[in-house]
Amino acid sequence: MNTRNVSSALRVGIAGAGAIGCTLAALLARAGARVHVLARGASLTSLRSEGVRLHRRGDCLQAPVLASDDASGLGPQDVLFLCAKAHDMQQLLRSALPMIGPETCVVPLVNGVPWWYFQALPGPWQGRRVQAVDPEGTLSALLPATQIVGAVVFITAERVRPGEVVSDNPLLMVLGEIDHAGSSARLQRLADWLERAGIEARVTPQIRDALWTKILANLTSNPLSVISGATLQSIYGDTRLLAIVWEMLREGLSLAAAFGARIAFTPANFIREGAAMGAVRTSMLQDFEAGRRLELAAIGDAVLELATLQDIAMPVTERVIALAHFRDEARAASDDIAPVDPTQLPKPNKEVFHEQCR
């Protein structure tokens, strides 16, 4: 590790005290960073009274952090991690604006296709909005591309109570500038601090290539977990679910290739590593079971939006996303769904049925 880049304490802002935000806060605070957490409600109360607590591989790390619900009191940061669901990002970013100075490096940690995907991207799509996640261009207008560092996060964590999380799997974050290829001093400094905190940090000159790995991981696991209730181990290990995963992965790889992405994994390794994550519930399944809004727009709808731009068919993916939407809507309106009376169903045309089934 390049120790000269970690000689002075880094001012780290964490906007959002969910599972990932608390994991980062605990590890970076232990590493010596000055951690400031923008939180509210029960999370704010817990962080102020007990600090942040991380249970990891049998150990419990408890670290004090400065927590507030007023970003003005926390002030500009060297680095600001935006830790929120895609549908909550606009509200979070607005509330965190006082933490962003002219030199602040802003790292959005989101699942699925990020709103900044087409920002500063050379070629025919430059400047286009991802309608599914930023329909009015608000996020693009609030934050210039020059201040954004793209990040692909491979961290599984679960919040057990406000301010307290569990994370046992390996920790990895891939970083890259979104407005140019290559590295930068701010990337190297951030990577060094993450390494110091025990998080493997990789700097890539092509962040969108790395991003597609996470997009495909989200796509093949999250919606399917809502439909099936399965953990990652089952999604990537049970032959019945794996058959669907393979088709979704094939469709997703075709889309990634159409956008010029160079994928660094083989499908077999992708499946193997997914199964190795163990009996972990996806974040979307956790949200579904808790009655929270699902990230289907960023993880599913945005991918299908990109497929439409490239005129690429994704029939299996489209059906899985549709089923996940149905499960979400049925959960929200379960009391309004009348039971079906089988005697009122139309009788099938047997001749047509037999002809279609030949």
In the predicted structure, residue 334 carries a pLDDT above the cut 80: no
Sequence letter at residue 140: S
Confidence of residue 353 (pLDDT cuts 50, 70, 90): very low
The pLDDT assigned to 358 comes to 45
The pLDDT assigned to 7 comes to 53
Token couple for 275:
């199964």
Nearest 5°: phi and psi at 222? -65, -55
In the predicted structure, residue 341 carries a pLDDT above the cut 80: no
Token couple for 40:
């509210």
The pLDDT assigned to 216 comes to 97
Which residue reads 């005697």 in tokens?
343
In the predicted structure, residue 352 carries a pLDDT above the cut 80: no
Strands 164-166 and 158-161: antiparallel
What's the whole-number average pLDDT of the chain?
A: 91
200: three-class secondary structure by DSSP: strand
The pLDDT assigned to 1 comes to 40
Confidence of residue 10 (pLDDT cuts 50, 70, 90): very high
Report pLDDT digits (tens) over 102-111: 999 999 999 9
Which pairs from 43-52 meet CB under 8 Å and 24+ separation? Answer: 43/17, 43/67, 43/162, 43/163, 44/17, 44/68, 44/69, 45/162, 46/161, 46/162, 46/163, 46/164, 47/17, 47/162, 47/163, 50/163, 51/163, 52/17, 52/22, 52/25, 52/26, 52/163, 52/164, 52/165
Report pLDDT digits (tens) over 192-217: 999 999 999 999 999 999 999 999 99
Cβ(240)–Cβ(193) below 8 Å: no
Cβ density class 172-181: b for 16+ within 10 Å, e for less: ebbbbbbbee
Kindly report the pTM of this predicted structure.
Answer: 0.86
State the alpha helices, DSSP H only, in 197-230. Answer: 207-228
The segment(s) of the chain belonging to CATH 1.10.1040.10 are 211-333
Nearest 5°: phi and psi at 274? -65, -45
The beta-strand segments (E) located in 132-251 are: 149-154, 158-161, 164-166, 172-177, 200-203
Per CATH, the homologous superfamily of domain 9-204 is NAD(P)-binding Rossmann-like Domain (3.40.50.720)
The pLDDT assigned to 127 comes to 82
Q: Which residues, 6 or more positions from 319, have their beta carbon under 8 angstroms from its beta carbon?
A: none
d(CA 140, CA 115): 7
The segment(s) of the chain belonging to CATH 3.40.50.720 are 9-204
Cβ(314)–Cβ(255) below 8 Å: yes
214 given a catalytic annotation: yes
CATH topology assigned to domain 211-333: N-(1-d-carboxylethyl)-l-norvaline Dehydrogenase; domain 2 (1.10.1040)
